[in-house]
Amino acid sequence: MKTSLRRFENKSILVTGGSSGIGKATAERFAREGGRVLIFADRPEELRQTANNFRAEGLDVIECPGNVAAAGDVDRAVAQAISAFGRIDVLVSNAGFVYNEPFLEISEEHWDRLMAVNLKGMFLFSQRVARQMRSQGSGGVLLFTASVNGLSAETGLASYNVSKAGIILLMKTLALELAPHRIRANAVCPGIIDTPNTHDFIMRDPKWPQYARSIPWGRAGRPSEVAAAFAFLASDDAEYITGECLVIDGGQIVNGGVKTGENRRFEIIVSSTV
């Protein structure tokens, strides 16, 4: 990732789900623009390796392992960021995962686990960080990874769709409530992005060419493209933008989204991006 921009000098950024995929690319983007970044994830070994790789390149990155749905882990991450950097200027609340299963077969256990990570985790981190930003008195930016699935329903993904729609309404509410404190809130809504969770489908599944035809741009997105959107929304260039969703999907939702039936989305393997 190459950039000559240095928009985040002396800024502190906390990124959840930062060990791989979109979160990793986002942490790297902020760090390369001069930011001091804490990455949080629930896979300690992967998280440590990611942070070590960043530090080997001279980037100012520290790590904190934990579960986004555990209030104690969230408090520990926020405290670590404050101890290391003195403040928090930007939160990128990104961690999440998906179950692909018919609505009539969703178990209560699966529903509760997905909502805990995808929605409760967003609540806990944004509340704790917003409190810190308010106490700093200089504003801040709360950013969320939602999805096009929060804007348009897709079969087999009821719990995921609901969680992403909830994130969008949480973000919009925070934009209203926190504006007096000069805290902005926005979300990105990616379509299919080439991450470790989707790479095999994109590269090897015979259904991919048909799926790709629903994307006017003709390809999956790259994590770096989502990271660039986060960096813009966190920058001073976006100072008058709050309460908005930025769709990053190559035009797929404009094209009517993913069709059901034979052009239905791939059966994704259950995996966490926390």
Q: Is residue 77 part of a domain?
A: yes
Q: Is residue 6 part of a domain?
A: no
Q: Is residue 246 part of a domain?
A: yes
Q: Provide DSSP, 116-173.
A: IIIIIHHHHHHHHHHHHHHHHTS-EEEEEE--GGGTS--TT-HHHHHHHHHHHHHHHH
C-alpha to C-alpha distance for 129 and 135, rounded to whole angstroms: 10
Q: How many domains does the chain have?
A: 1
C-alpha to C-alpha distance for 178 and 184, rounded to whole angstroms: 7
Q: Is residue 4 part of a domain?
A: no
By the 8 A CB rule, do 142 and 93 touch?
yes
C-alpha to C-alpha distance for 173 and 167, rounded to whole angstroms: 10
Which residues constitute the domain of residue 123?
12-272
Q: Digits of tens for pLDDT over the chain (274 positions)?
A: 677 789 999 999 999 999 999 999 999 999 999 999 999 999 999 999 999 999 999 999 999 999 999 999 999 999 999 999 999 999 999 999 999 999 999 999 999 999 999 999 999 999 999 999 999 999 999 999 999 999 999 999 999 999 999 999 999 999 999 999 999 999 999 999 999 889 999 999 999 999 999 999 999 999 999 999 999 999 999 999 999 999 999 999 998 866 543 444 444 433 344 4
pLDDT on residue 189: 98
pLDDT on residue 1: 67
Q: Is residue 203 part of a domain?
A: yes
Report the CATH number that the domain containing residue 91 is assigned in CATH: 3.40.50.720
Q: What is the pTM of this model?
A: 0.93
Q: Is residue 1 part of a domain?
A: no
Q: Is residue 5 part of a domain?
A: no
Q: Is residue 3 part of a domain?
A: no
pLDDT on residue 262: 41
Radius of gyration in angstroms for the set of CA atoms belonging to the chain, rounded to a whole number? 18
Catalytic annotation, pick one of 99, 160, 211, 240 = 160
By CB neighbour count within 10 A (0-12 exposed, 13-18 middle, 19+ buried), where does 194 fall?
middle
Active-site residue 240, yes or no?
Answer: no
